[in-house]
Amino acid sequence: MATTSESAFDYVIVGGGAAGCVLAARLTENSNVTVCVLEAGPPDTNPLIRIPAGVIKLLFNPKVAWQFRTEGSPGTNGRPVFAPQGKTLGGSSSINGMIYNRGLPSDYNAWAQAGNKGWGYDDVLPYFKKSERRVGKGDDNIRGRSGPIPVTDNEWFTPLTEAFVAGVTGTGVPRNVDYNDGNQAGVGYMQRAIEHGRRVSAARGYLGQARGRVNLEVICRAQAERILFEGKRAVGVAFRQSTGGARRTIRARKEVIISAGSLNTPKLMQLSGIGPANVLQRLGVDPVHVLPGVGRNLSDHFGVRTVVEIKGAATANELSRGPRLGWEVAKWLMGRPSILGLSSSLAYVFGQSQAGLDQPDLQFVFTPISFKAGLFGVLDDFPGISLGVWPHRPHSRGYVEARSTNAFEDPIIQPNYLADSYDQRTIVAGIRQTRKFLGTPEFSKYVVRESVPGPALEGDDELLDFARQTGSTIYHFCGTSRMGPATDVNAVVDDHLRVHGVERLRIVDASIMPDVPSGNTYAPTLMLSEKGADLIRQDAAKL
């Protein structure tokens, strides 16, 4: 990647996360187009990024992860929720659980039905295919085979995972060998962005292709302070590389593109004078354009975990200690299956909270590891597994606001978890089903006891309180720059991802999703970024 003193580029991208990496790689395929990426974090050189199991440490490392905390709310019994996000090249794709999950076709058809032309499932499927390189079984009409991000099957097996899948199948849930083929319902093994035991982030998969291009510059440790406007036309970005450092500016000849993520994008918009009138007034920021939806419509998956103590089979708890850990490290270094190469979960169930639904409304994730209650990252002393669950399409909505005009200060994040009665009912039903799945004849022979929440909690109110007291983010924040037509008062961008009411400003990241997809957000973010790059190229001739 070039390192020049040029201060004007065709496109300036704020954020070197998953979306920013896709855009930078695709736009610079044209050697006549110049691009500058401003990334608030460092280069992705931390060695733990390449080790999938390193996520346990990376989430708590302020050098590579924003250490965000939500505001307390009744849905969490007043408790703030730790909500780290990626702060390095690759963004959250460098610190996430690496699960590849497209969601349901109906998710995208709903986007199109809401007035977003070109965003139905048939429209976005080519971009899902373009972004992935499926290594394993899959219909070539649906799965990509030559994209930058490898999508592989699990290589490390344990009798526990096999017993879990067999047991769930015995309850009547169908076996599903490819939940990314448009038919999600069932039980099976997770697909993940890991190859040969190493994480493949968007920085590695996409920027890796672009390294050395003279038309690309990436500036790390660059905190964007505001978008620069001439009238209502975006013309550049002001940023600093430290809290006391000099302010620098980068000019955009064609467009400024914000790809800072669902929590930082609305903050930057508000600091730049675009947002709800009351927020701009509180901040003392002169309005460029009053846009009520900026920072509203925050959506996330909120999950809880059931933990059981295990006998008769090894879990990652024991394999992560002493000489056994040394052997796992050795296997990983030799390229053999090892716990160091595991994704955040190994098996899944996409199920229903009640009979008769036409599609799954719950996601369950099985992991042969468990943590002490309230201490994520601290392993239990006993052999244990975790089975997490969350509502697929939560109804609760929250907001993000800039806390002050200091761009280095974390935003106010209020997801309003479990505010909606549907979410409350669904998560309680999910906890009950976890007990059903862990109590099958195939799996229960390995179970010593239920550690969390514990068999004493049985009533709906008790289980809901357990969710409020222990539930956590699944790191799937989206919706704060909602895509929709100008007639939608809460829409922030149009179906070309252009910000309503201003010129030459676009948003390309998970914040534009109208609703959280029925699955993890990494694959949809890659898709929308690929499509965003095409939209930018299509519109370039009009500038």
Which is it for strands 302-310 and 447-452: parallel, antiparallel or unpaired?
antiparallel
Give Cα separations from 373 to 197, 304, 454, 469, 494 (angstroms). 29, 11, 11, 11, 44
Cα–Cα distance, 513 to 418 (Å, whole number): 20
* Helix-helix angle 421-438:460-470, to 10 degrees: 100
Signed CA dihedral, 164, 168, 170, 173: sign only: negative
Cα–Cα distance, 465 to 471 (Å, whole number): 10
Write down the H helix ranges in 256-401. 264-271, 277-283, 316-319, 322-333
- Name the token pair of 322: 């002493």
- Name the token pair of 266: 């609305």
Q: Which of 289, 301, 392, 476 is flagged as catalytic?
A: 476
User: Is 301 labeled as catalytic in the residue annotation?
Assistant: no
Give Cα separations from 46 to 59, 219, 377 (angstroms). 12, 17, 18
Cα–Cα distance, 163 to 127 (Å, whole number): 36
228: left (phi over 0), alpha (psi -120 to 50) or beta: beta
Q: Which residues, 6 or more positions from 320, have their beta carbon under 8 angstroms from its beta carbon? A: 328, 339, 369, 379
Signed CA dihedral, 38, 42, 45, 46: sign only: negative
Cα–Cα distance, 519 to 159 (Å, whole number): 26
Q: Torsion angle of alpha carbons 72, 75, 78, 84, nearest 10°?
A: -40
Instruction: Say which amino acid occupies 118.
Output: G
Tokens 């039905």 label which residue? 113
Can you state the percent helix, strand and coil of the chain, rounding each to 5? 30, 25, 45
Identify which of 472, 474, 498, 473 has the alpha carbon closest to the alpha carbon of residue 484.
498
- Name the token pair of 425: 């009912």
Query: In a 3-state reduction of DSSP, which class is residue 464?
Result: helix
Whether 521 and 478 have beta carbons less than 8 Å apart is answered as yes
- Name the token pair of 75: 């849905």
Instruction: Say which amino acid occupies 428.
Output: V
How many Cβ atoms sit within 10 Å of the Cβ of residue 213?
Answer: 18
Query: In a 3-state reduction of DSSP, which class is residue 199?
Result: strand
- Name the token pair of 489: 């008062």
Give Cα separations from 529 to 107, 134, 509 (angstroms). 17, 18, 7
Identify which of 267, 196, 219 has the alpha carbon closest to the alpha carbon of residue 52.
196
Catalytic residues, by residue number, are 476
